[in-house]
Amino acid sequence: MLRNQRQIENAISKLIDGLFFASSLWLAHGLRSALNVDLFGAEPEIASFWGEPSGRPYVWISLLLLFSAPITLNTQGFYSQSYWTSRKQIFWPLAKATMIVTLGIILGIFVLKIQLTRSVILFFAIICVLLIWIKEEIWQFIQHKRMARSELQKRLILLGSESETQEMLKRIGDGKNKNYRVMMEFNINQGPINELIQNLHEHSANVVLINAGHTKFDLIEKVINACELEGVEVWLAADFFNTQIARTTVDDFYGVPLLVFQTAPAPSLQSLGKQIIDYIGAFTMILCLCPILLICALSVKLTSQGPIFFRQKRSGINGRPFTMYKFRSMNTNAEQRKHELEAMNEMSGPVFKVSSDPRITPVGKFLRKYSLDELPQLINVLQGSMSLVGPRPLPVDETKRFEDLSHRRRLSVKPGLTCLWQISGRNEVKDFSDWVRLDLEYIDNWSLWLDIKILAKTIPVVFIGTGAH
């Protein structure tokens, strides 16, 4: 019921936000015309009439904004916040989503060569933030007023042991949350079911919130059956098991209700956006970097004997092996000579790393310094075995040597071309546990915005050559 109510409210909010983003473009054009200002110097004007050819870009962009803006807001967690979110928690997701949408418009008009005044784009971003900010302020005001009305509140009876009901009372906020009103606390270990039913009648309760351990399932079933007859909702707190990291969600499997415990990011619009960025980004980079790829391939071929590409089995998502591609940067007998260099290994744990590896060719040293040897992994991204951002894939034999099984959680997401380790001075990381810590930090805090920031920080790292390994 709570989820359904939230989904309806979110659907309405998304529709309003989409309309606000679409109308903001027209408002921005009107504001620019009324003020008659050019913030960036003389700019080409564009008509705002629907029927004129010059005004058609506004129509198409507005239609795109109607659908894309709510999706972008959703990827930033804008619709997953509580009713009582602070202004700061509202502003930052809104500001980031608006910036992403604005950058999308700028990219679109550049690629499609559409004439759109730059002042309009700036006004558009400001108006979007203001309109939705005002909408959220009004919505919170309405919610406060609405929940202050006693007939709209959920009248709860807390059911469990004394300690369990006290714990739930703290979560609710000891009566501070106006959505709910706790009528009484009922000790499941002491009170009979008949007494619970009498209290349902006496307090006109419409929800029984059960927060009891899994050892009391027989009593819980009797409570649920009794509430079924009364037509009273039952909310069962599903905290039977103590988990440290895993997030709990509710799902359905062929009609069977499930509790799902997962530590990796759940499928969402953000994860869909990540896949789209992976495929479009990898394809675009291959097209743009074709001359560089060709030069690298010829350099490897002409300066040393052996194949252009180095292929190796690496551990993908959940440890599933895949063939990873790199430009060959070592002599062809590198794998056979690896055992000779074991004493020179600079990395603790199962990973093998030597900064001055004698097996590296002169061209290979240059390719590695600027991470050019990694470019063929764009093919792996297009194949779906890798992502642009994610933990770096390790060879299968190194993965098998993990001594700490918790390190395998870095395999719960797709491996990537770049990650937090890449941009955090990876040459300075000598302990494998520090490497894993950065990977798990990425997994636990993942968002599409984090991926964008890592990609942006990777560019200077590559150009100045600190990405060398």
Asked if 429 and 310 sit in the same domain, the reply is yes
Which residues make Cβ contacts (< 8 Å) with residue 382, sequence separation at least 6?
Answer: 279, 282, 283, 286
In a domain, 75, yes or no: yes
Please report, as a single letter, which amino acid is at residue 322. Answer: F
State pLDDT tens for residues 338-380.
Answer: 777 777 777 777 888 777 788 889 999 999 888 899 999 999 9
In a domain, 255, yes or no: no
CA–CA gap between residue 300 and residue 332 (Å, rounded): 12
Q: Output 197 or 259, whichever has higher pLDDT.
A: 197
CA–CA gap between residue 249 and residue 261 (Å, rounded): 7
In a domain, 253, yes or no: no
In a domain, 400, yes or no: yes
CA–CA gap between residue 174 and residue 168 (Å, rounded): 9
Asked if 351 and 435 sit in the same domain, the reply is yes
Of 131, 147, 163, the domain-final residue: 147
Residue 174 pLDDT > 80, yes or no? no
Residue 83 pLDDT > 60, yes or no? no
- Looking at 148-192, list the stretches that DSSP marks H as alpha helix, in order from N- to C-terminal side: 162-172
Which of helix, strand or coil describes residue 181? strand
1 — pLDDT class (breaks 50, 70, 90): low
Asked if 161 and 35 sit in the same domain, the reply is no
Which residues make Cβ contacts (< 8 Å) with residue 273, sequence separation at least 6?
Answer: 71, 75, 448
Output the CA–CA distances (angstroms, integers) from residue 243 to 214, 240, 261, 263, 440, in the order listed: 15, 9, 9, 10, 16
Q: Output 337 or 209, whichever has higher pLDDT.
A: 209
Asked if 273 and 181 sit in the same domain, the reply is no
At residue 4, the pLDDT reads: 59
Of 93, 116, 147, the domain-final residue: 147
At residue 382, the pLDDT reads: 95
Q: Output 206 or 50, whichever has higher pLDDT.
A: 206
CATH of the domain at 218: 3.40.50.10700
Asked if 123 and 165 sit in the same domain, the reply is no
Q: How many helices (H) and strands (E) does the chain have?
A: 16, 10
CA–CA gap between residue 43 and residue 195 (Å, rounded): 77
Please state the rounded mean pLDDT for residues 305-319. 92
In a domain, 334, yes or no: yes
Q: What value does the mean pLDDT of the chain take?
A: 81
Domain count for the chain: 3
Please state the rounded mean pLDDT for residues 169-182. 67
In a domain, 296, yes or no: yes
Asked if 143 and 168 sit in the same domain, the reply is no
Of 96, 122, 147, the domain-final residue: 147
Asked if 97 and 183 sit in the same domain, the reply is no
At residue 165, the pLDDT reads: 80
Asked if 181 and 110 sit in the same domain, the reply is no
State pLDDT tens for residues 114-163.
Answer: 666 778 888 888 999 999 989 888 887 777 666 555 555 678 888 887 78
In a domain, 261, yes or no: no
State pLDDT tens for residues 37-75.
Answer: 665 554 444 444 334 434 567 777 888 888 888 888 888
Asked if 322 and 394 sit in the same domain, the reply is yes
At residue 53, the pLDDT reads: 39
Asked if 226 and 333 sit in the same domain, the reply is no
At residue 381, the pLDDT reads: 96
Please state the rounded mean pLDDT for residues 199-222. 78
Check the CA dihedral 40-42-44-45 and report its sign: positive
Asked if 136 and 167 sit in the same domain, the reply is no
What helix, strand, coil percent values describe the chain, rounded to 5? 60, 15, 30
Asked if 211 and 278 sit in the same domain, the reply is no
Tell me the residue range of the domain where 277 lies.
269-463
**Is the distance from CB of 231 to CB of 242 less than 8 angstroms?**
no
In a domain, 51, yes or no: yes
At residue 42, the pLDDT reads: 46
Q: Output 113 or 322, whichever has higher pLDDT.
A: 322
State pLDDT tens for residues 255-292.
Answer: 777 777 788 887 777 888 899 999 999 999 999 999 99
